[in-house]
Chains A and B, each alone.
Chain A
Amino acid sequence: MKNGTTNVLIVGVGGQGVLLASEILIEVAKLMGLDAKKSEVHGMSQRGGIVTSHVRFGKKVYSPLIPHRESDVILAFELAEGLRWVGELRPGGKIIVNTQKIIPTLTTTGKFFYPEKAEEKIRGYSPGATLLDAYEIALELGNPRMVNTILLGVLSKSIDLEEDKWIEVIQRMAPKGTAEINRTAFLKGKEID
């Protein structure tokens, strides 16, 4: 938290919901009365590419991009992406990784391989990493669509924003009729370390 700015890097693969997650986070920061910026490149993310979203909030935010190794928290929606971006974490920062795997099409060429033992490696770089199978937890809750909200619950433990503001924004952005399950999923995420 350099100069009072909190930096959250959210990463994943096109279609996973990275942009919605960062949208919710920045709205929560705004609701707290903070200055906030976020940046991502849209472009070709829909076609299986890597998606990264930089979210920054605090008293006054200038650049919309987080400098190298100044991410206070990294939230990875996909395992290999967690490994790809773990080097952006600041010393003492927190990385949260959903262990879902999305195998890139390139692996079919036989020249590229999905990283082995990625979970161990991430822990090697960041012993305090939280790795979880959010999909499994969502199934336990009875709604596989809650992956996103569970991950935000986990994320909320590492940053200083109020719980009721989180829930307010998540419920505002959630599809009709899912307010309660979203709240449950968020609180479930908060229980995980």
Chain B
Amino acid sequence: MEMLLSGNQALARGIYEFGGEFASAYPGTPSTEILETIARFWKDDVYAEWAINEKVALEVAVGASYGGARSLAAMKHVGVNVAADPFMTLAYTGVGAGLILVSADDPSLHSSQNEQDNRIYGKFASVPVLEPSDSQESKDFVRYAFEMSEEFDTPVLLRMTTRVSHSKGIVKIGERKVAENKGFERNIEKYVMVPAHAIKRHAIVASRLEKLKAFAEKTELNRVEWKDRKIGIVTGSIAYQHAREAMPEASILKLGLGYPLPMNKIRDFASKVERLFVVEELEGFYEEMIAAAGIKVEGKKYFSNLMELDVDRVRKGFIEAGELDASVIMPSIETEPVLPRPPVLCSGCPHRGVMVALKKAGVYTNGDIGCYTLGGLPPLSQIDSCLCMGASIGNAFGIEKAGKTSRKTVAIIGDSTFLHSGITALASVVYNRGTTTTIIADNGITAMTGGQQNPATSTTLMGEKTYSIDLAELCRALGVQHVRKVDPYDLDETLAAIKEETNRDAASVIITTRPCMLFPKKVNGSPYEVDLGKCIACGACFNVGCPSISVSEVKNEKGKPKSQIDPVTCTGCSICAQVCPADAIARIES
């Protein structure tokens, strides 16, 4: 049977077919659908969970692997930074049953804060890196990954990219085969990484890498497509698809195993072509290693390390290199530029009230990663920093301690992000006698990535009821003496709380509590309307940045447009009504 699957769905299918028994992840675009797919279709066969963060996701997957189950940990590229501590030493202990770490990289930063190239982690840890280039390979490479993991006693980094994860293609479907689960086998020298053991394991890592290099030379994961020998291209991942299309006549050495490289095979390939190129997305990862091996090669000179590649970018590189005629690229026709559509907080989003109140309070806001980051875009423009998940609290505390900033600063962090990596920072603030005010924007879900459960939502990924962490109690337990909950739909209450807590000489937490408008269920409320007779066209409601509010045809005496509200999308949160100085906005009487 054949099905149209995305790379993520195909990878999930691979976990099922090739005997995976355990999967843990923390959500993050473009990786999220892997676990969602497993939980949706195969939860009776493969245990699937959301961990509290990526470090824990990897650690539990490591435990499951030690415990005899073929296991998966999945995360977006920046998640691997969070999991890097266990990852680096996991390379030393090796595995029990096959263990795959999926890193879903995001060239072009479609939904990320950076575009780091995680193939480098493979080299850093001496761990093999597999790079599927389409959906079929996303499934097939799971088998290779499990087998290599067990044969070489190593974790395997399966590196996806947004285009591989989120493109659909045709995939052949097979049956599930389960490997034998032998349970945990005690082995102190292998699993207990104290210096005396670890130093021996490091030597094993080095000899394992040599074996992997020999494997790389003969595996079918790396294949040559001989065509014209004028140009030879070494490529892998999605770049292979673009290069194959852009250069139909060129010979290609396609790498499925992106680390370690089959250097003899590459040397042989290079010797048989007139000019050798590497076409790879992001860093010159293959290119540097090939050049270091003394092979003449060209790459990043023509194919930028910024942003994802596509067919035209590959063609442009070869035009610059003098190997293609400029006419292969269609000249652009000049069309009229159309206004952008940046993402906005949804109608009724509870984060809007908090942002409006923060703006009124006139404070600096150290932001974090989640939907509330959208409060940094105009017209709200209320986020002053956003670094990585969990950073808001430490950033705000640091600015406070640096001592020279006259305005108050607050941290704002979502429920999922607070649990992911905010708890430790808050404890550190309390311990170090900080007076930071932290706002936990609690919408009861992990919204930005599409509505996943988290340890405060009372259900698991597989749909079971579970204990739900009480955020207020948790903060009190960390030693925060001033913890209060407010309703972000009540601007006066929220503003008063911000003013009071930022003026307090002690650490404080304000938890703004209201459900997300999209997840777990789309919320419809009773809509509001603008009384055009009363509206003075001051623009106050425009400044809350609500997608239900737009410019109407009616203008005031100075020609400024009055506003209107779309009754279909308005959920009735009333924030616009609360900022209206003319009392012109009210609930539609039914």
Cβ–Cβ contact B335 & A68, under 8 A = no
Q: Which chain A residues (30-66) contact chain B, with CB distance < 8 Å?
A: 30, 35-44, 46-50, 61-65
Q: Which chain B residues (144-179) contact chain A, with CB distance < 8 Å?
A: 162-163, 166-170
Cβ–Cβ contact A26 & B343, under 8 A = no
Cβ–Cβ contact B330 & A67, under 8 A = yes
- State whether the Cβ of A72 lies closer than 8 Å to any Cβ in chain B: no
Task: Give the docked Cα–Cα distance between A104 and B549 (Å).
Answer: 10
Cβ–Cβ contact B310 & A80, under 8 A = no
Task: Give the docked Cα–Cα distance between A111 and B169 (Å).
Answer: 42
Task: Give the docked Cα–Cα distance between A36 and B167 (Å).
Answer: 10
Cβ–Cβ contact A63 & B310, under 8 A = yes
Known A43-B29, A86-B335; 19 more pairs at CB < 8 Å:
A37-B134, A39-B167, A47-B345, A49-B342, A62-B241, A62-B245, A63-B310, A63-B311, A64-B163, A67-B315, A69-B333, A80-B339, A90-B330, A103-B551, A105-B547, A106-B378, A107-B550, A115-B336, A121-B336
Chain A residue numbers with a CB within 8 Å of B163 are 39, 64-65
Chain A binding surface SS class? mixed
- State whether the Cβ of A27 lies closer than 8 Å to any Cβ in chain B: yes
Q: Which residue of B lies closest to A45 (CB)?
A: B343
Question: Which of A48, A49, A86 counts the most B-chain CB atoms under 10 A from its CB?
Answer: A48
Point out the residue from B170, B310, B371, B561 that lies within 8 Å of A65, measured CB to CB: B310
Task: Give the docked Cα–Cα distance between A80 and B339 (Å).
Answer: 9
Taking A39-B163, A47-B344, A64-B241 as contacts, is the C-beta distance between A104 and B339 under 8 angstroms? Answer: yes
Point out the residue from B162, B332, B344, B542 that lies within 8 Å of A41, measured CB to CB: B162
Task: Give the docked Cα–Cα distance between A37 and B2 (Å).
Answer: 13
Cβ–Cβ contact A30 & B550, under 8 A = no
Task: Give the docked Cα–Cα distance between A30 and B135 (Å).
Answer: 15
Cβ–Cβ contact A46 & B330, under 8 A = no
- State whether the Cβ of B4 lies closer than 8 Å to any Cβ in chain A: yes
- State whether the Cβ of B507 lies closer than 8 Å to any Cβ in chain A: no
Task: Give the docked Cα–Cα distance between A40 and B166 (Å).
Answer: 7
Cβ–Cβ contact A63 & B245, under 8 A = yes
Q: Which chain B residues (527-574) contact chain A, with CB distance < 8 Å?
A: 539, 542, 545-547, 549-551, 561, 563
Task: Give the docked Cα–Cα distance between A36 and B136 (Å).
Answer: 12
Chain B residue numbers with a CB within 8 Å of A86 are 335
Chain B residue numbers with a CB within 8 Å of A67 are 245, 310-312, 315, 329-330
Chain B residue numbers with a CB within 8 Å of A50 are 341
Measured as residues with beta carbon below 8 angstroms from the partner, the interface class of chain A is 35 or more
Using an 8 Å CB-CB cutoff, how does the interface string of A155-174 with B read, 1 for contact, 0 for none?
A: 00000000000000000000
Q: Which residue of A lies closest to B345 (CB)?
A: A47
Task: Give the docked Cα–Cα distance between A30 and B2 (Å).
Answer: 9
Q: Which chain B residues (315-366) contact chain A, with CB distance < 8 Å?
A: 315, 329-336, 338-346
- State whether the Cβ of B499 lies closer than 8 Å to any Cβ in chain A: no
Task: Give the docked Cα–Cα distance between A39 and B333 (Å).
Answer: 24
Cβ–Cβ contact A108 & B550, under 8 A = yes
> Could you write out 29 A-B pairs with CB less than 8 Å apart?
A13-B341, A26-B168, A36-B4, A41-B111, A42-B111, A42-B166, A44-B343, A46-B346, A47-B344, A47-B371, A62-B244, A63-B242, A64-B134, A64-B168, A65-B163, A67-B310, A68-B329, A69-B330, A83-B336, A86-B335, A87-B332, A87-B335, A103-B551, A105-B545, A105-B547, A110-B561, A112-B340, A115-B339, A125-B333
Taking A65-B311, A86-B335 as contacts, is the C-beta distance between A106 and B342 under 8 angstroms? Answer: yes
Task: Give the docked Cα–Cα distance between A121 and B547 (Å).
Answer: 26
Cβ–Cβ contact B312 & A68, under 8 A = yes
A contacts, CB < 8 Å to B: 3, 13, 26-27, 30, 35-44, 46-50, 61-65, 67-70, 80-81, 83-84, 86-87, 90, 103-110, 112-115, 121, 125
Point out the residue from B169, B340, B547 that lies within 8 Å of A37, measured CB to CB: B169
Task: Give the docked Cα–Cα distance between A62 and B279 (Å).
Answer: 15
- State whether the Cβ of B110 lies closer than 8 Å to any Cβ in chain A: yes
Task: Give the docked Cα–Cα distance between A64 and B169 (Å).
Answer: 9
Task: Give the docked Cα–Cα distance between A69 and B311 (Å).
Answer: 12
Task: Give the docked Cα–Cα distance between A41 and B108 (Å).
Answer: 11
Cβ–Cβ contact B341 & A48, under 8 A = yes
Task: Give the docked Cα–Cα distance between A43 and B340 (Å).
Answer: 16
Chain B residue numbers with a CB within 8 Å of A38 are 167-168
Taking A62-B241, A115-B336 as contacts, is the C-beta distance between A47 and B134 under 8 angstroms? Answer: no
How far in angstroms is the closest Cβ of chain A from B72?
Answer: 21
Chain A residue numbers with a CB within 8 Å of B111 are 41-44
Task: Give the docked Cα–Cα distance between A190 and B119 (Å).
Answer: 49
| Chain A to chain B: the 8 pairs with minimum beta-carbon distance, closest first | A69-B330, A43-B111, A108-B542, A47-B343, A64-B167, A39-B167, A44-B343, A62-B245
Chain B residue numbers with a CB within 8 Å of A30 are 2, 4, 170
Using an 8 Å CB-CB cutoff, how does the interface string of B438-450 with A read, 1 for contact, 0 for none?
A: 0000000000101
Task: Give the docked Cα–Cα distance between A50 and B342 (Å).
Answer: 8
Q: Which residue of A lies closest to B133 (CB)?
A: A62
Cβ–Cβ contact A36 & B169, under 8 A = yes
Cβ–Cβ contact B343 & A109, under 8 A = no
Point out the residue from B30, B334, B338 that lies within 8 Å of A42, measured CB to CB: B30
- State whether the Cβ of B233 lies closer than 8 Å to any Cβ in chain A: no
Cβ–Cβ contact B542 & A109, under 8 A = yes
Task: Give the docked Cα–Cα distance between A36 and B329 (Å).
Answer: 23
Chain A residue numbers with a CB within 8 Å of B183 are none
Point out the residue from A46, A47, A113, A125 that lies within 8 Å of B335, measured CB to CB: A125
How far in angstroms is the closest Cβ of chain A from B227?
Answer: 14
Taking A69-B332, A87-B332 as contacts, is the C-beta distance between A115 and B338 under 8 angstroms? Answer: yes
Task: Give the docked Cα–Cα distance between A54 and B431 (Å).
Answer: 53
Q: Which residue of A lies closest to B544 (CB)?
A: A108
Task: Give the docked Cα–Cα distance between A46 and B371 (Å).
Answer: 11
How far in angstroms is the closest Cβ of chain B from A147?
Answer: 14
